[in-house]
Amino acid sequence: MPHFPAGSGINVRPHPHIGLATISYLMEGSMLHRDSLGTIQEIQPGDVNWMTAGKGIVHSEHETIETRGSDHVLNGLQCWIALPEEKADMEPSFIHINKA
């Protein structure tokens, strides 16, 4: 599991996806998701983020300023799922499921 000292961490700049979906689940740490749908959502351990790119979405992932300001860890999964051909051009969407 990656350990980051204060001032460093994950910084995945905005980038596009098409024809797929991603599911993100964290066991430790937190990550901030932003996308071209206007979504701004922090994922915490036990939460699930489901992003369907479909015909196209642009998103970024990074820690919040508060998280980046101290030593922190990140431990989780992100799985990419190829959409079936008939769903590849569907409207993009984002769903956040709180662990509660």
Domain holding 69: CATH number? Answer: 2.60.120.10
Separation between Cα atoms, residue 10 and residue 78, nearest integer Å: 14
pTM: 0.91
Structural domain tally of the chain?
1
pLDDT class of 1 with cuts at 50, 70, 90 = confident
pLDDT at 18: 97
Distances (CA, A) of 52 to 1, 28, 74, 97: 26, 24, 23, 14
75-91: average pLDDT = 96
pLDDT tens digits, residue range 29-71? 999 999 999 999 999 999 999 999 999 999 999 999 999 999 9
Residues 37, 20 contacting (CB under 8 angstroms): no
Tell me the residue range of the domain where 66 lies: 3-97
Q: How high does pLDDT run on average in the chain?
A: 96
pLDDT at 35: 98
